[in-house]
Structure 1
Amino acid sequence: MISPGSPVRLIPRPRRKSSNVIVSFLVILALLWFWSFQRNIASRPAACEDVPDPLDAIKNGTLGFEKIFVINSPQRLDRRDAIVLGSSATGLHVDFIDQMDLHQDSAKGNEPTNGLEEIAAFRSHLNAVQRIVADRLASALIFEDDVDWDVNLKTQLKGFARGAQKIQKSNASYSPYGDSWDLLWLGHCGVKCNTSSPVQIMPHDITAISARFLPPYSYDAPAGTGNNVRMTCKMEEAACSGAYAISYRASQKILAALTLSTATRAVKFEGLLSQLCHDGSLECYSSYPSLVGRWNWTSRETGPSDSIQESDSHASLSMGAMYSTLQNVGRLLDGESRVQATVDDALVPELNPDLFEVPYAVLQWTDEKGGHERHV
Structure 2
Amino acid sequence: MRRISIDTLGMKGAKDGAAFYPKRRRTPWYLSRPRLLTTLLCFLVLYTWLNFGGHAIVIPRDSWDYVRDGSVTDIMNATLGFQKLLVLNLPFRTDRRDAMTLSAATTNMQLEFVDGVTGDSIKQSAYPPPQENIKLLPGIRGSWRTHMNALQRVVEQNLTTALIFEDDVDWDVRIRQNLQRFALASRFLSTNKEILSSSPRYKIENVENVETEETTFRMLSDNHTMAHLPSLPLASLYRKSHHPQHHSSSPYGDPSQWDVLWFGHCGAGFPRYSPLHKKTDVTTANVILTNPNDETVPAPRHLKAHPFQSILDPLAEAYPPHTRIYHRSTGGELCTVAYAVSQRGAQRLLHQFGVKGWNGIFDSELGRWCAGEDPDMGASASPSSKKKISDGRERICLASQPPIFAHHHPMDGESDIGGLGGGYATKFETKYLRYSVRMNLERIVMGRREKELVDQWPDEGGHAAR
Q: Same fold (TM over 0.5)?
A: yes
Q: Does 1:207 align with 2:321?
A: no
Segment of structure 1 superposing worse, 84-93 or 164-173: 164-173
Q: Does 1:166 align with 2:188?
A: yes
Shift of 1:299: 2.4
Q: Distance in 2 between matches of 1:219 and 1:269?
A: 24
Q: Distance in 2 between matches of 1:83 and 1:259?
A: 27
Segment of structure 1 superposing worse, 280-289 or 98-107: 98-107
CA pair 348-287 structure 1, distance change in 2 beyond 3 A: farther
Partner in structure 1 of residue 235 of structure 2: none
Runs of 4+ that moved beyond 3 A: 216-220, 346-351
Shift of 1:134: 0.4
CA pair 98-198 structure 1, distance change in 2 beyond 3 A: same
- Aligned residue pairs total 286
Q: Distance in 2 between matches of 1:201 and 1:332?
A: 31
Alignment of 1:193-272 (within 5 A): 193-195=270-272, 196=282, 197-213=286-302, 214-216=304-306, 220-222=313-315, 224-236=318-330, 237-258=332-353, 261=356, 266-272=359-365
Match of 2:407 among 283, 288, 294: 294
Question: Is the contact made by 1:191 and 1:219 (CA closer than 8 Å) also made in structure 2?
Answer: no
Segment of structure 1 superposing worse, 138-147 or 100-109: 100-109
Shift of 1:225: 2.8
Alignment of 1:114-125 (within 5 A): 114-125=136-147
Q: Deviations over 1:305-346 (max 9, x none)?
A: xxxxxxxxx964222211110111222223222221112437
Shift of 1:350: 3.2
Match of 1:343 among 447, 452, 457: 457
Partner in structure 1 of residue 172 of structure 2: 150
Partner in structure 2 of residue 184 of structure 1: 261
CA pair 316-226 structure 1, distance change in 2 beyond 3 A: farther
Q: Deviations over 1:80-133 (max 9, x none)?
A: 110001000011111111110344144522273211110000000110001000
Q: Does 1:92 align with 2:109?
A: yes
Shift of 1:79: 0.6
Q: Distance in 1 between matches of 2:148 and 2:444?
A: 34
The one-letter code of the counterpart of 1:229 is T
Question: Is the contact made by 1:65 and 1:139 (CA closer than 8 Å) also made in structure 2?
Answer: yes
The one-letter code of the counterpart of 2:95 is D
Q: Does 1:322 align with 2:322?
A: no
Partner in structure 2 of residue 80 of structure 1: 97
Q: Distance in 2 between matches of 1:61 and 1:345?
A: 32
Partner in structure 1 of residue 154 of structure 2: 132
Q: Deviations over 1:218-242 (max 9, x none)?
A: 9952574343111011221211111
Q: Distance in 1 between matches of 2:338 and 2:364?
A: 14
Question: Is the contact made by 1:192 and 1:219 (CA closer than 8 Å) also made in structure 2?
Answer: no
Q: Deviations over 1:327-373 (max 9, x none)?
A: 1122222322222111243766434xxxxxxxxxxxxxxxxxxxxxx
Q: Secondary structure at the match of 2:184?
A: helix
The one-letter code of the counterpart of 1:331 is R
Question: Is the contact made by 2:370 and 2:395 (CA closer than 8 Å) also made in structure 1?
Answer: yes
Question: Is the contact made by 1:190 and 1:219 (CA closer than 8 Å) also made in structure 2?
Answer: no
Question: Is the contact made by 2:87 and 2:112 (CA closer than 8 Å) also made in structure 1?
Answer: yes
Q: Does 1:68 align with 2:66?
A: no
Q: Secondary structure at the match of 1:299?
A: coil
Partner in structure 2 of residue 57 of structure 1: 74
Question: Is the contact made by 1:198 and 1:233 (CA closer than 8 Å) also made in structure 2?
Answer: yes
Question: Is the contact made by 1:203 and 1:228 (CA closer than 8 Å) also made in structure 2?
Answer: yes
Question: Is the contact made by 1:277 and 1:283 (CA closer than 8 Å) also made in structure 2?
Answer: yes
Identity %: 29
Segment of structure 1 superposing worse, 120-129 or 190-199: 190-199
Match of 1:275 among 361, 368, 374: 368
Q: Distance in 1 between matches of 2:394 and 2:410?
A: 35
Q: Distance in 2 between matches of 1:152 and 1:220?
A: 23
* TM-score calculated relative to the size of structure 1: 0.70
Shift of 1:212: 3.3
Q: Distance in 1 between matches of 2:123 and 2:291?
A: 45
Partner in structure 2 of residue 309 of structure 1: none
Q: Secondary structure at the match of 1:110?
A: coil
Q: Distance in 2 between matches of 1:259 and 1:72?
A: 19
Shift of 1:181: 1.8
Shift of 1:272: 2.7
Runs of 5+ consecutive residues of structure 1 not aligned to the other structure = 1-51, 302-313, 352-376
Q: CA RMSD in A?
A: 2.5
The one-letter code of the counterpart of 1:59 is M
Shift of 1:193: 3.1
